[in-house]
Structure 1
Amino acid sequence: MSKKSARYATPVELYVSWMNASMLMVETASVMTMRMMGMAGTWSVTKSENDRMMSEKPTAFLDSAVAGSMAVMSGKRPDEVMNAALRPLRRKTRANARRLGKRGPAMPGSKPRR
């Protein structure tokens, strides 16, 4: 078993953890909004977006759980565990927000983008 870190988290390290959690919330809200607008026909999304939305969640949560567990088992501090668990989720939400954001709103009378 590895030795636990004796030092405490600095205010900057705690701020980084807070920012990671905040960015996850903002990116998640953005992705949810764009996907809902896509379902309503006001945002340009692919036909496979609904399937993608459901199929990516289990792997993202599993990756998050594994990363968090590995951090705990290696004796990381709570803020480091949280950051490790958030990293896989942020990777997905950031990629989805960028991808959907590039597609833009659906224009009336235009063909849907692929």
Structure 2
Amino acid sequence: MLELFHLQMRTAQMMVEANTVIGLRMLGMAGVLPSDAGETSRMVSEKQKAFARAGAAASAAMIAGKTPLQAYGLALTPIGKTTRANAMRLTKRKIA
């Protein structure tokens, strides 16, 4: 039961970070905040990498006989790392 609660908290954290990233990127695209030139292509390519890693981790976990909760936790890790890194990077921007 504690493992499920831990995964729910990790999921909630990832969702908050993703919401932050989406908001900051939209403000950058609107010209309200400064934005790097490659930010739009970056947001597409990083999703592909994160989801590919998540799928590979979940598949490997299930093949290895891990529980669905363990597989979910392993799949969540690359997505959470990506959203956390983006949230940290985008919130450090200086407003011009």
Could you tell me the TM-score, scaled by structure 2's length?
Answer: 0.93
Moved over 6 A (4+): none
Aligned-residue offset at 1:78: 1.4
Structure 1, residues 32-62: CA drift from partner, whole Å, max 9, x if none?
A: 0000000111122211111111111111110
Q: 2:80 aligns with which of 73, 90, 96?
A: 90
**CA RMSD, 1 decimal:** 1.1
Which residue does 2:7 correspond to in 1? 17
CA distance in 1, matches of 2:79, 2:26: 20
Q: Give 3-state SS (helix, strand or coil) of 1:103's partner.
A: coil
Percent identity reads 41
Is residue 27 of structure 1 aligned with residue 17 of structure 2? yes
Q: Give 3-state SS (helix, strand or coil) of 1:47's partner.
A: coil
Higher gyration radius (CA): 1
Which residue does 1:50 correspond to in 2? 40
Letter of the 1:17 counterpart: L
Q: 1:101 aligns with which of 76, 85, 91?
A: 91
Q: Which has the higher helix share?
A: 2
Letter of the 1:86 counterpart: L
Which residue does 1:8 correspond to in 2? none
Q: Which runs of 5+ in 2 are unaligned?
A: none
Aligned-residue offset at 1:23: 1.2
Letter of the 2:52 counterpart: L
